[in-house]
Amino acid sequence: MITVFLLSSLITLKAQNISLFSTATKSEWYRHFLQPVVDAVKDSPAFPHMLDIGTGPGTLPEMVIAQDSTARITGIDIDAAMINEAKRRFTHKNVSFQHQKGNAPLPFDDQHFDIVTFCSVLFLLDDQTKDRLLKEALRIVKPTGKIIILTPSGKKPVLASFGEVGRFGSLIKNGTFPVWRIATSRGGRTWSREQWVKTFAAEHQLNYSATLTFHENALLEIVSKRKLKRA
């Protein structure tokens, strides 16, 4: 039954040419995936100034501002369609979305942000792009700030994730979760194994913490220039 549903979901997604991600991010479960990042942002100074790199349809800025309306957030993405969707879905006086050109340096001053986030972004990119983006994040984050990276962990056996849909609500609303889990399995596993951010942090003498979140389906990594109060 579940398998039939998943297959028909995949076929429907393909037929309508809707990306898995675009559908998944609107599901209830996706907010559970992003929540640990919102919690990590809450643990920041008052009036945090945040940049969300690869913001997609802007779900994270929307969630952060719902928790802290004093935050000032910029979401950027190289996909102009995503930025248009983010602008259409969500407006708030403290949130702006802007299109980012491919390999161009990020258009922000040094030490401009308290928090820089990458959710489900870095693990999709090649080493050179990851390195460039993380160095840019380091340049624009304040000495007291932090860089938060959330990635599918690929840790849990795929079949176990089928049962987890029930944690988030109905299969109809959250059926994209197992599909996402399968689709991100390999990339997430490679990311967890390679410990790319940990190595980057060691090379640049940064503090680093890693926590499995979202019922071990995600890896939350935090990099900071100063000692963290809590991981």
Ligand X SMILES: C[S@@+](CC[C@H](N)C(=O)[O-])C[C@H]1O[C@@H](n2cnc3c(N)ncnc32)[C@H](O)[C@@H]1O
Q: Please report how close the Cβ of residue 175 comes to ligand X at its closest, in angstroms.
A: 18
Q: Which is nearer to ligand X, 186 or 226 (CB)?
A: 186
**Of positions 6, 35, 72, 79, contacts ligand X by CB under 6 A:** 79
Decide: is 56 part of the binding site for ligand X (CB under 6 A).
yes
Residue from 25, 151, 176, 185 touching ligand X (CB under 6 A): that is 25
Q: Does 185 bind ligand X (CB under 6 A)?
A: no
Selected range binding ligand X among 48-56, 88-96, 140-148, 170-178, rule: CB under 6 A = 48-56
Cα 124 to Cα 197: distance, rounded to the nearest angstrom: 14
Binding footprint of ligand X, residue count (CB under 6 A):
20
The four Cα atoms 119, 121, 123, 125 give a dihedral, to 10 degrees, of -170
Q: By CB under 6 A, what part of segment 162-181 binds ligand X?
A: none
Give 3-9's long-range contacts (Cβ < 8 A, gap of 24+): 5/171, 5/175, 6/175, 6/178, 6/179, 9/175, 9/176, 9/179
154 binding ligand X? (CB under 6 A):
no
- Quick one: which of 35, 129, 195, 209 contacts ligand X (CB under 6 A)? 129
Cα(19)–Cα(103) distance, integer angstroms = 24
Contacts of 59 (CB under 8 A, 6+ apart): 25, 26, 30, 31, 34
151 makes contact with ligand X (CB under 6 A): no
Taking the mean position of all CA atoms in its chain, how far away is CA 99? 17
Residues lying near ligand X in the complex (CB under 6 A): 21, 25, 53-56, 59-60, 76-79, 82, 100, 119-121, 125, 129, 133
